[in-house]
């Protein structure tokens, strides 16, 4: 007999306890004294609520938004194709070789990182570009800190331009059935303004001196550059760009299901005589997929208790309506920095049914832009900091905050003003 049938109240409070523990793990990045990361916490949380509430496995599976998982997996394969073709590193080197001033080089880097992140995974872009950017700065004898922080922030901002730029946007687009072209029209202006704000701060504002107090790095001796990225392959790169371009055209100009189209595109890329399937699978972020599936199940169980709906109703009675732009912007930014943007979106999405397309766009922009606030607020930030440390460049939370906090506040202000203008 299912546990919840014997003692519904006890089961509900047990689910609440699991829910709270899981989101504590999202906040901490794991659980104390246990070798668990966020994905492990989400997986164990799903197992716990299935066992505790006696949820049939079929019902738990139905709680998972399969189109989001399929779309996310497919674009991980597309991003893997571009990385295996050496595209990201080659493009970054091409940018670094341009005869530009410091501010000009910074502008091109920010634009390139933002544009790539709008189509490919922002995390993959940071993973591939960070070592190259660090080495280029060291070789040119310029302070790498603004360039690396700019790379992370630009990848976050740029990824908000489309419904495939990051995982939370894929989820929002899938659940709310947002039109791809319509979203781009609304999101692109604040994204472009946000990138300009970022460039201005790093080129001419206080962010220009980020990390200047640390010992100035010396250029690398000739021959000591270590390149872990695959060599540039024109065929593999062209193949990936053709598939990515075709998918963008399909998304913009047809109503074909995005998940199915992306899956077909991934299948085309997997048909290769040079790149083994294991190479693609090795670059798929399986922990992120597990995180999504685990949180879907945990959140579904929590929603079934009715407590979330009661809390939202109580807030509405106090005049705080989540579908209104102000409360949604604040809730998105705060939750994204408490539990990370994907869990924040999963918490807020079920309560935006009456907000329409505008609420979806606001949620996507706010949760993504908020990822620049703190160093730990975005996986892209942590990837850049970790890879920079391997190059002897230390990006701590203080150095990141010099740029992250003001740029986030200014970019969120842009979102607020823009959404008010288009409403």
Task: List alpha helices for 324-376, DSSP H.
Answer: 325-339, 341-348, 356-369
Residue range 50-60, pLDDT digits in tens: 998 888 999 99
Residue range 263-285, pLDDT digits in tens: 999 999 999 888 889 988 998 88
pLDDT at 44 over 80: yes
Residue range 397-417, pLDDT digits in tens: 888 899 999 999 999 999 999
* Structure confidence at residue 124 as a pLDDT band (50, 70, 90): confident
What average pLDDT does the segment 109-118 reach? 95
Could you tell me if 111 and 195 are in contact, meaning their C-beta atoms sit under 8 angstroms apart? Answer: yes
Q: How far is Cα 358 from Cα 360, in angstroms, rounded to an integer?
A: 5
Q: Which residue has the tokens 């550059």?
A: 225
Residue range 352-403, pLDDT digits in tens: 876 678 999 999 999 999 999 988 888 888 889 988 988 888 888 888 899 9
What does the DSSP 8-state code read for residue 230? P
User: What percentage of the chain reaches a pLDDT higher than 70?
Assistant: 92
Please enumerate in sequence order all residues whose Cβ is within 8 A of that of 415, keeping only pairs 6 or more positions apart, or say none.
190, 329, 362, 365, 366, 369
Could you tell me if 180 and 163 are in contact, meaning their C-beta atoms sit under 8 angstroms apart? Answer: yes
Q: How far is Cα 185 from Cα 57, in angstroms, rounded to an integer?
A: 40
Average pLDDT, the chain: 88
Q: Which residue has the tokens 């980020």?
A: 210
* Structure confidence at residue 227 as a pLDDT band (50, 70, 90): low
Q: How far is Cα 392 from Cα 417, in angstroms, rounded to an integer?
A: 40
What average pLDDT does the segment 311-325 reach? 84
Among 199-213, 318-332, 334-348, 359-373, which stretch is predicted with the lowest mean pLDDT? Answer: 199-213
Predicted TM-score of the model (pTM): 0.87
Q: How far is Cα 205 from Cα 216, in angstroms, rounded to an integer?
A: 20
Domain regions of the chain by residue span? 1-62, 74-422
pLDDT at 224 over 50: no
């Amino acid at each position: 007999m299912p546990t919840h049938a014997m003692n519904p109240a006890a089961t509900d409070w047990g689910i609440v306890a699991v829910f709270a523990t899981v989101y504590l793990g999202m906040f901490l990045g794991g659980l104390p004294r246990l070798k668990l990361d966020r994905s492990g916490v989400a997986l164990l949380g799903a197992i716990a609520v299935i066992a505790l509430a006696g949820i049939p496995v079929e019902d738990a599976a139905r709680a998972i938004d399969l189109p989001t998982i399929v779309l996310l997996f497919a674009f991980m394969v597309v991003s893997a194709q571009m990385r295996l073709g050496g595209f990201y590193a080659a493009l970054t080197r091409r940018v670094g070789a341009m005869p530009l001033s410091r501010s000009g080089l910074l502008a091109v880097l920010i634009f390139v990182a933002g544009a790539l992140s709008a189509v490919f995974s922002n995390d993959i872009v940071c993973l591939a570009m960070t070592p190259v950017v660090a080495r280029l700065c060291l070789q040119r004898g310029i302070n790498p800190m603004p360039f690396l922080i700019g790379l992370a922030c630009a990848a976050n901002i740029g990824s908000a331009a489309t419904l495939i730029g990051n995982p939370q946007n894929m989820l929002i687009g899938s659940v709310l059935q947002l039109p791809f072209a319509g979203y781009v029209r609304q999101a692109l202006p604040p994204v472009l303004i946000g990138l300009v704000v970022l460039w201005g701060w790093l080129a001419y504002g206080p962010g220009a001196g980020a990390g200047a107090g640390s010992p100035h790095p010396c250029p690398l001796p000739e021959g000591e550059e270590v390149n872990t990225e695959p060599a540039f392959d024109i065929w593999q790169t062209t193949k990936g760009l053709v598939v990515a371009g075709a998918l963008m055209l399909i998304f913009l100009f047809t109503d074909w299901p995005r998940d199915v189209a992306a899956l077909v595109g991934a299948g085309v890329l997997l048909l290769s005589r040079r790149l083994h399937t294991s190479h693609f699978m090795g670059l798929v972020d399986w922990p992120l997929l597990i995180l999504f599936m685990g949180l879907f199940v945990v959140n579904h169980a929590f929603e079934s208790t009715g407590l979330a709906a009661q809390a939202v109703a109580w807030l509405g009675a106090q005049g705080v309506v989540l579908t209104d732009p102000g409360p949604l912007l604040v809730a998105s930014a705060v939750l994204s920095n408490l539990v990370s943007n994907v869990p924040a979106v999963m918490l807020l999405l079920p309560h935006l049914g009456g907000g329409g397309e505008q609420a979806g766009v606001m949620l996507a922009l706010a949760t993504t832009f908020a990822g620049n606030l703190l160093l730990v607020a975005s996986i892209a930030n942590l990837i850049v900091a970790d890879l920079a440390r391997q190059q002897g460049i230390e990006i701590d939370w203080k150095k990141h905050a010099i740029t992250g906090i003001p740029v986030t506040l200014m970019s969120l202000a842009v979102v607020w003003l823009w959404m008010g203008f288009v409403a």
